[in-house]
Structure 1
Amino acid sequence: MGTGPFVLSLLAATASEPIYWENLGLRPGIDLGFFTLRFYSLAYLAGIVMAYWHLSRMLKQPGAPMAQRHAEDLFFWCTLGVILGGRIGYATFYEPELWSDPTALISLWNGGMSFHGGVMGVLLAITWVSWRGKLNFIRVCDYIAVNVPFGMLFGRLANFVNGELWGRPTDVPWAMVFPRAGPLARHPSQLYEAALEGALMIVIMLVLFWMTRARYRPGLLVGVFTAGIAAGRFTVEFFREPDAQLAEFARETGLSMGQWLTIPLIVIGLGVAIWALTRPAIGQKASRPAADPA
C-alpha cells in the first residue's frame, strides 16, 4: 500500500470535494497468491501479541496478582472468548439470520463481531482461569483491562481498511465516500472509534497503571476501562450508520442497539470504579473509628 495516494487524499480534506476511500490505495489484505491474508485477521493477531507483551511487562512489577504461566492460560482462553463471544454476540444482537446459515456464521473473515459479546466472552475466560488458578478475579480483570485497548485500536483501523462500518452522511471537510455505502459522503466513524476506544483509552490505562497506584485498588482499572470504552462507543454511535437491519429500531427508540447495550456498561463501570475508590488500597489497613475516651 503506497503512502502517496493516501497522503494526497487526506490533503484533499481541505477542499470542497469529499475524500474517496477507494483513492486511498487501501486493500483488504495481502495477496499471497493461494491465499489472501486479511488485515482484519492481522489486526486481531497484532492486538493479542501487543497485549501479551505488555501484560508480561506488567507482571514483573510489584503487586502482580498472577504469574507468567497464568498469563499464557489467560491469553489462550481470552482469545477464544473474544472470537466466540464477539461472533455469537453479533449474530444474536445485530444479524440473527446468521443462525440459520452455519457457513456464514463461521465466516469470521467477512467481519461482523460484537464488542459486547466479546466482553462477555473475555469475562467468562477470566472467570474460568481465575477459578482454576485460585486467583483474585477483580485484580485479574484490572490487568487484562489495561491491555484490551490495543486490540480495539487495531480492530477499528482494520474496519477502516476494509471500508466497512462507515458513518452517517455528513458534509464535514474530512467526509469520505465508501464504495459499498452509496454516493453520499460519510463520517469515517471507524477512525473516531480507533481514536476514542483505542488510542485515548491506551493513554488513560497506561497512565493509570504506570504513573499512579491504581493497580493497588482492586476494580479501579477495570471500572475506568469499562466506563471509558463504553462512553466512547456511545458517543461514536451518534456518527456511525446503524446496521441496516436495525435502522428502524434506532429510529423508533432514538438510540442505536449499540447505545442501548452500552448504557449498562457505563453504569457498571462507574459503579465498580467508585466502589474501588471507597475501599482501602492493597497494603493499606482499613481505618478504624477512634475509641471513645474512658
Structure 2
Amino acid sequence: MILTAAAAAATHIRFSDLGLDPVALDLGFFQLKWYSLAYIAGILIGWWYLLKLLAQPGAPMARRHADDMVFYATLGIILGGRLGYAIFYQPQLFLEPLSLLRLWEGGMSFHGGVIGTSLGILYLCRKEKLNWLRVHDYVACVVPFGLFFGRLANFVNGELWGHPTAMPWGIVFDRTGEDVARHPSQLYEAGLEGLLLFAVLWFLFWKTDARYQPGKLVGTFILGYGLSRYFVEFFREYDAQFQGTIFATPGLHMGQLLTIPMILGGIYLIATAKRRRERVEPIAGGPSIA
C-alpha cells in the first residue's frame, strides 16, 4: 500500500500547494492560530445555538444558566482535554509540568474534554438544582460545532493524517517526511462527527419528541461519536508513541478503545430513555409540556 501510494503521490494533491498556514494572524509579538479560533468558534456558535434550543417549550434551564455554563464548559474542555491527552496519550507530560501547561503546542483529547465538560455540567446542575441528564441532552446538540471546527483545524495544521492510500483524494502531507499520499482522515471526522452527527441531533430535537425523553439526545451523541471515531480510526494513522505496541493494531487504537464505553453508554441511554419520559416543567415561564 505504501509503494502504491508513493507511486501515485505525483498525481495527488500536495498539502503544501493548498496554501494553508496554522497561523491565522501573526503580529510578530503575538500569533493567533486557527486551532485557537476553532475552539472559540465552537464555543460561541454552540452557545448561540443552545439559546435557540432553550427558547423552545420545556427547556431544562434558563438563559442565565446557559451563560454560566459557557464558563464551566470552556474550563472543562481546556482542563479535561489537556489532562485527558496526558493520561491517555502522553503520561510523561506529568513529569514535565511546564510542558503540560503549553497548550499552544497542541495535544488535546476529546474524551478528556467530554469528561471535563460533564463534570462542569454536573456541578452547575447540583448548584442550581437542575435535571443534569436533560441539560446534557441540550448540550450534546451543540457539541458537533466544536468537533467540526476542531477537525478542520487539525487539517489546516497538517496533523492527525491517515494511512497511505491510492485513492484520488489522497493528500501528501509534508510533515510526514514521506512522499506518500494519505487519507485526509481529519476531513472524514469533520464530516461524520460534525456535519452528520449535527444533522441527526437536529432532526431528533426539532422533528421528534426526543427532548422529552431524558438521555435520548446525549445517548445519540455519544453513540454517534463513538461509532464515527471507531470507523475513522481504521483510516487514521496511529499515534507515533504507540508504535510497536498493541495500540498500533487496527481495531485496538487508543482512540478506538476509548470509544467502546461511549458506544455502550449511548446504547443504554437510548434504550432506557422512553421509560424516563416525564411531564416536563419549564425552568423559565411557558406552559408545561407532557
Structure 1 stretch 260-269 or stretch 245-254: which is displaced more? Answer: 245-254
Name the counterpart of 1:70.
Answer: 65
Pick from 80, 87, 105 the counterpart of residue 85 of structure 1: 80
What is the number of residues matched between the two proteins? 271
- Residue equivalent to 1:237: 233
Q: What is the deviation of 1:277?
A: 2.6
Residues 4-19 of structure 1 mapped to structure 2, 5 A cutoff: 17-19=11-13
156-165 or 205-214, which deviates more: 205-214
The CA distance in 2 between the partners of 1:106 and 1:70, in whole Å, is: 29
Query: Equivalent residue for 1:220?
Result: 216
Unmatched 5+ residue regions in structure 1? 1-13, 284-294
Could you say which structure has the greater relative contact order, defined with CA pairs below 8 angstroms and 6 or more residues apart? 2
Q: SS of 1:37's equivalent?
A: strand
- The answer on whether the counterparts of 1:250 and 1:256 sit within 8 Å (CA) in structure 2 is yes
**TM-score, with length taken from structure 1:** 0.88
* Alpha carbons of structure 1 residues 186 and 219: separation in structure 2 relative to 1, 3 Å: same
| Distance of aligned partners of 1:227 and 1:254 in 2 relative to their CA distance in 1, 3 Å threshold | closer
The answer as to whether partners of 2:86 and 2:93 remain within 8 angstroms in 1 is yes
Q: Deviations over 1:197-223 (max 9, x none)?
A: 111111111111112111111110000
Aligned to 2:22: 28
Aligned with 1:34: secondary structure?
coil
The answer on 1:197 being equivalent to 2:196 is: no
2:30 counterpart letter in structure 1 = F
Residue 136 of structure 1 corresponds to which residue in structure 2? 131
- 2:101 paired residue number: 106
From 71, 91, 96, the counterpart of 2:91? 96
TM-score between the two structures when normalised by the length of structure 2:
0.90
Please give the secondary structure, in 1, of the residue aligned with 2:181. Answer: coil
- Give distance in 1, aligned partners of 2:279 and 2:231: 34
Amino acid paired to 1:231: L
Identity %: 56
Letter in 2 for 1:268: G
SS at structure 1 position matched to 2:277: coil
Deviation string, structure 1 residues 227-281 (Cα, Å, up to 9, x no partner):
0011111111101111111132324685101101101110001100110034435
